[in-house]
Structure 1
Amino acid sequence: MNPWPVVLLPALAALLGLALGRDRRLAQATAVGLGGATLVLAAVGWALAGTGALEAAGPALRAGELEVPLAVATDPTRAAVAFVVALVALAVQVYSTWYLADDDRYPRFAATVSLFTAAMLLVVHSADLVLTVVGWEVMGWCSYLLIGHWSRRHTARRAAHKAFLVTRVADVGFVLGIVGLAAGAGTTSLGGVVAAWARPTECIDGQVATGLPVAEALAACGAPDGTLRAWLVTLVVIGVLGKSAQLPFQDWLADAMEGPTPASALIHAATMVAAGTVVLAGLFPLLAVSQTPRWVLGISVSITMLLAAVLAFAQSDLKRLLAWSTVSQVGVMLSALAAAPLEEGAGAGLFHLWSHAVFKALLFLAIGWAAVIAGGTAAVALRGSAAAAPLLRVSFVFGLLSLAGVPLVVGGLSKEHVIAVSWEGAVETGPGVVVLVALLVTAPVTAAYCTRAYLLLTAHVRPAPTSAPLPVAIQAVLGVLVVMSVLGGLVLLTDAFPVGEASLGWIVITLLLIAVGVGAALRGGLDRDPADVLARRFVPHADRGLGADGLYVRVVATPVLALARLVAFLDTEVVDFYVRGTAAATRAAGWLGARAHHGERPSSAVGLVLAAVVVLGLAGVVAWS
């Protein structure tokens, strides 16, 4: 099936949503109706993709010697990822009709969600780096609009600006890397770029076996410049780290909680932060043979997943707890790409992306419901709120089980495959050992903050909280996500994600580590906040993200502003000095000439002419000599 309709349908929904202006009913019908149609098309595309890969040509262009095919492609893995993106987007659109019922800017919000979805689906199905960049940049713009949707609040505007600026800084590397890869390959086709930059090891080995020197074998096989390739892929990795909120760009995502909860669910679950995993999966053959970008990626995600898990445990706001858990979990999915051997592929990382989209969307939509009941997302306010409705409690139970990585639920299965592929990478050269250790240390911390969240949400309070009747459509959305969080691992039966077998030994080790984290969280009993017991003094620092904002100001903003002031001084006081001096000298010469002309005698004029002739004659003699 041609994937273009799956990409263009939500884009059409965005255009229609904007054209409808403030008509709320038509905006709802357009957003939900076309969102449902997109999901149906994605499901059909997934079903038909079982026959193999398909590439659909676009309006091919040519820029000098550079080919720009603008093609899209589909295969079982792309189709599965597109399906879960469309599913989460539809869930967000349905949920928003209730959550933003009193929002006078709802039509614009729904249109932006549709455009965001189209951009992510374009990245998923892109077989051309130009289309990848287009989808990548549109997502950055949409995230700015969604985070700052409640723009009447200063905190929302600040969070939107911060997200935009931080990710744009990283995007400089991303665009430079993409341009370099395309220029070196002579095409923007993803397949062509990978083929041009991948080292043809079989050809080289064969040439060397015939007695040809290595240098001549490299030349004969057309092997690329490995150093240049490493630099270009590293630039792409830097862009991915920014969009995925990995160290040193990690702080913007927690502040993005200033946006509406449905926007948070979309950004954290199925778009934006997960897009980097899709891009690197497409370039995995290049990443796997380039040690420098693998080490950059591996070290960044290893530190980030543990740091974010620790910060999540100590948050005083449970929505920010989920935000930091996203930072940690994106580190987990990227770690599979940093550690996996070439022959293992990117399947484990994409499978964790798929499962994370399901259970994180469930948790964010559930926390939004709980916040409506409790009147806020602070841990103190949400205490016991899950007791208001059985469906809310069930949503938190299975969402947190998946987040903690308990085996058999979808999140547990995907994490086990990430650990297994990291073990395979640890046996070889590369950052596999670092990644594996980080995964194992992060597991008990993740279990601890999941246990803390469950204790707070289900604690007995008097009087017991009550919930207003929830629309049937919203209950159906949560119900579907609950079922997928439990049974979503069955997707492995479709061969959508080529992963190996999970090791029973690692499953046992993971269970023991989870038990350690649960036991630590229960030290204070069932009625106390584990963060108060284990990290009371750390909570204020965790709420501030360990002062990353101040670090950004000291390390980036202050030097840049100082440089800008220096450049402005040089421009106005040095460069412009000569321009102003020339103008002043010209005016002075004109004034003096005018005075001399009006006040001179004929003899004086003759004297001046003779003097000029003498000066010109002397200048000619000097020049001739």
Structure 2
Amino acid sequence: MNPWPVVALPALASLIGLFAGQNLRDQRLAKGLAVGASAASLVLVLVAWAAGAEALEAAGPGVAAGELSVPLALLSDPTRLAVGAVVALVALCVQAYSAIYLRTDDRYPRFAATVSLFTAAMLLVVFSGDLVLTVIGWEVMGWCSYLLIGHWSRRHSARRAAHKAFLVTRVADIGFVLGMVGLAAGAGTTSLTGVVDAWSSEGADGADGAARAVAMTLVVIGVLGKSAQVPFQDWLADAMEGPTPASALIHAATMVAAGTVVLAGLFPVLALSHPARWVLGLSVAVTMVLAAVLAFAQSDLKRLLAWSTVSQVGVMLSALAAAPLAEGPDAGLFHLWSHAIFKALLFLAIGWASVIAGGTAVTTLRGSAAAIPILRVSFLFGLLSLAGVPFVVGGLSKEHVIAAAWHGAVESGPGLVVLVALLVTVAVTAAYCTRAYLLLTAHVRSSEVGERVGATPVPPVVRVVLGGLVVLSAIGGLVLFTDAFDVGSASLAWIAITALIIAVGVAAALRGGLDKDPAQVLAARLVPHADAGLGADAFYRAVAVTPVLGLARVVAFLDTEVVDLYVRGAAVATRAAGWLGARAHHGERPSSAIGLVLGAVVVLAMVGVLAS
């Protein structure tokens, strides 16, 4: 299958929708374009995947850049088609859901157009066979995330969150772009296959090996920024200021998951770059545990899901940090695939629960799903998958990530560190999933819930979207019977071990009984600190913002008080010379002219002394 139409359809819908939305009050055109383009892309990918398409390279326009080859080609194979299918599916669900969720929003056409462009950029990254196209898709996603997070720009908090996300990810992107430039320059081509072949050859050692390590470490830094991994983790929780459909898209299938796709394409090079793997492994190991603990202690359930995304992206990347070269990156890609399904389900479910309850705080959402079957089932299967319970889609993918980390621990590298962090994360994740389900389904009078449901019924479109994602969360693991992901067989021993660890996490969360908030029982003092991200925002200001602003003030002072002094001195001297010339021209006495000349010389001398 040629992937160009899959990418072009949502991009074209974005362009048309943007201009149409400015001139038409009726939103039907914007809805039709957004939903139709997403559906068409999904159909194209599913047809190609079902037809058993073989790996192929779709030629691009190509660019002559001196000695550098820039083919601008796209690649298609079963794994890319599977990932592209889940991206298109989540985008379709988000667009259909948004048409109802944002039906009273006067800026909905712009939102739908931005979501379409975001989807096109992610699909471009998924199918990219060229580093230039990868960078283009990567940067467009960063811009779209800024627009989506700040969609409700009339609120200061939304504007601040958008600026924070943009600045943090852009700083990390400096490393990403430099790393990509280094890889392309060393290979003499921007073709992904050419870069992998050039840098993963046996002859790439010594100086070339050092250059490879530097380039891949820079790429990893860019990935850590976009994926909200330590030390860039704090922006993603603040991104909850955007509309819930935007959160579902960013957290489930785009942006934060894009780094996994990029590193999977470069996996043979990454596997030989030991410093880069250590940077990646240590970062994701810390992030997985830290974000899981912060998720457990959140007083807002939407932010709980945000921190769970940070943790789960760490799980995806841990497979790439630890898996042996022979095993490949497919365990991480499979977890990306499953995470897209169950995280989209959870975000869209909590979005509608917040519509019914009037907010996303624990105190507001408590019991909001108790009397609504579709929400109760959605939270059940979504949280089971998030907790990694065996045999649901999230459980299967997490088992394969743990198996990959175990194989890496047996060999060398950061595998052992990653494996230990994964097992701790499994326990904490089970605890906060149990907490979330208890809070959402228990301890509310049926009459109170009935009043809420009667006031805000769940529309049929939302029911269809949530129901479809529930089915995929339950049976999505059947994708392993296709040739999409080469992950081998799961270990029964590790399934038993992780099931036991999950039971420990559930038991810990139930320690306070069914009528109390586990976070208040186990970590009451941590809750306010967890809501503040353990002070990461203050740390950013102290380490980055304050020094940069201080340096800017110094530069401004030098510019106005030192550099401009020469300009002001020249102006004074010019005015003095002009005045002298005018006096001389009108026939002043020689003695007066001489005095004026001497005065001008004195002024110029003083300017020179001050300037030096």
* TM-score, scaled relative to structure 2: 0.93
- What is residue 148 of structure 1 aligned with on the other side? 150
Residue type of the partner of 1:335?
Answer: S
**Partners of 2:61 and 2:28 in 1: CA distance:** 36
- Deviation at residue 591 of structure 1 after TM alignment: 4.7
**Partners of 2:99 and 2:345 in 1: CA distance:** 17
Q: Secondary structure at the match of 2:449?
A: coil
Residue type of the partner of 2:342?
Answer: F
Q: Secondary structure at the match of 1:385?
A: coil
- What is residue 320 of structure 1 aligned with on the other side? 303
**1:544-581 Cα distance to aligned partner (Å, 9 max, x none):** 11111111110000000111111122222222323333
- The answer to whether 1:185 aligns with 2:187 is yes
- The answer to whether 1:376 aligns with 2:359 is yes
Q: Secondary structure at the match of 2:141?
A: helix
- What is residue 107 of structure 2 aligned with on the other side? 105
Determine which of 560, 579, 590 is the counterpart of 1:572. Answer: 560
- What is residue 36 of structure 2 aligned with on the other side? 33
- What is residue 139 of structure 2 aligned with on the other side? 137
Q: Is the contact between residue 370 and residue 444 of structure 2 (CA under 8 Å) also seen in structure 1?
A: no
Q: Greater shift after overlay, 591-600 or 107-116?
A: 591-600
Residue type of the partner of 2:38?
Answer: G
**Partners of 2:206 and 2:473 in 1: CA distance:** 45
- Deviation at residue 461 of structure 1 after TM alignment: 1.1
**Partners of 1:456 and 1:17 in 2: CA distance:** 40
**Partners of 1:444 and 1:429 in 2: CA distance:** 25
- What is residue 525 of structure 1 aligned with on the other side? 513
**Partners of 1:44 and 1:51 in 2: CA distance:** 9
- What is residue 461 of structure 1 aligned with on the other side? 444
* TM-score, scaled relative to structure 1: 0.91
Q: Is the contact between residue 301 and residue 361 of structure 2 (CA under 8 Å) also seen in structure 1?
A: yes
Q: Is the contact between residue 197 and residue 223 of structure 1 (CA under 8 Å) also seen in structure 2?
A: no
- The answer to whether 1:176 aligns with 2:209 is no
- Deviation at residue 27 of structure 1 after TM alignment: 1.1
- The answer to whether 1:246 aligns with 2:229 is yes
**Partners of 1:12 and 1:224 in 2: CA distance:** 45
**1:474-529 Cα distance to aligned partner (Å, 9 max, x none):** 21111110111011111011020111222111111111111111011000000100
Q: Secondary structure at the match of 1:407?
A: coil
- What is residue 601 of structure 2 aligned with on the other side? none
- Deviation at residue 588 of structure 1 after TM alignment: 4.0
Residue type of the partner of 1:151?
Answer: S
Q: Secondary structure at the match of 2:229?
A: coil
Q: Greater shift after overlay, 455-464 or 390-399?
A: 455-464
Paired residues for 1:85-234 under 5 Å? 85-198=87-200, 200-201=201-202, 225-234=208-217
* Bigger Rg, structure 1 or 2: 1
- What is residue 548 of structure 1 aligned with on the other side? 536
Residue type of the partner of 2:15?
Answer: L
Q: Secondary structure at the match of 2:370?
A: helix
**Partners of 1:470 and 1:514 in 2: CA distance:** 32
- What is residue 621 of structure 1 aligned with on the other side? none
Q: 1:37 to 1:601 in 2, by over 3 A?
A: closer
- What is residue 209 of structure 1 aligned with on the other side? none
What is the aligned-residue RMSD (CA, Å)?
1.8
- What is residue 2 of structure 1 aligned with on the other side? 2
- Deviation at residue 584 of structure 1 after TM alignment: 3.3
Q: Percent identity?
A: 77
* Unpaired segments ≥5 residues, structure 1: 205-217, 609-625
- Deviation at residue 409 of structure 1 after TM alignment: 0.4
- Deviation at residue 15 of structure 1 after TM alignment: 1.5
- The answer to whether 1:483 aligns with 2:471 is yes
Q: Secondary structure at the match of 2:60?
A: coil
Residue type of the partner of 1:29?
Answer: G
- What is residue 422 of structure 1 aligned with on the other side? 405
Q: Greater shift after overlay, 473-482 or 575-584?
A: 575-584
Q: Is the contact between residue 73 and residue 127 of structure 1 (CA under 8 Å) also seen in structure 2?
A: yes
**Partners of 2:39 and 2:461 in 1: CA distance:** 13
- What is residue 333 of structure 2 aligned with on the other side? 350
Q: Secondary structure at the match of 2:219?
A: helix
- The answer to whether 1:470 aligns with 2:472 is no
Residue type of the partner of 2:10?
Answer: P
Residue type of the partner of 2:567?
Answer: V
Q: Secondary structure at the match of 1:20?
A: helix
- Deviation at residue 446 of structure 1 after TM alignment: 0.4
**1:358-417 Cα distance to aligned partner (Å, 9 max, x none):** 000000011011111111111111111111211111111110000001110000000010
Residue type of the partner of 2:60?
Answer: G
- Deviation at residue 248 of structure 1 after TM alignment: 0.8
**Partners of 1:391 and 1:592 in 2: CA distance:** 90
Determine which of 503, 521, 524 is the counterpart of 2:491. Answer: 503
Determine which of 357, 367, 388 is the counterpart of 2:371. Answer: 388
**Partners of 2:47 and 2:577 in 1: CA distance:** 82
**Partners of 1:594 and 1:154 in 2: CA distance:** 58
Residue type of the partner of 1:118?
Answer: A
Q: Secondary structure at the match of 1:73?
A: strand
**Partners of 1:568 and 1:291 in 2: CA distance:** 43
**1:44-100 Cα distance to aligned partner (Å, 9 max, x none):** 12223x342111001011112111111111100000000000000000011111111
Q: Secondary structure at the match of 2:278?
A: helix
Residue type of the partner of 1:57?
Answer: A
Q: Secondary structure at the match of 1:301?
A: helix
**Partners of 1:596 and 1:96 in 2: CA distance:** 79
- What is residue 17 of structure 2 aligned with on the other side? 17
- What is residue 212 of structure 1 aligned with on the other side? none
Q: Is the contact between residue 172 and residue 224 of structure 2 (CA under 8 Å) also seen in structure 1?
A: yes
**Partners of 1:132 and 1:516 in 2: CA distance:** 42
Residue type of the partner of 1:137?
Answer: E
- Deviation at residue 192 of structure 1 after TM alignment: 1.0
**Partners of 2:305 and 2:544 in 1: CA distance:** 28
Q: Greater shift after overlay, 588-597 or 500-509?
A: 588-597
Residue type of the partner of 1:2?
Answer: N
Paired residues for 1:299-310 under 5 Å? 299-310=282-293
Residue type of the partner of 1:20?
Answer: A
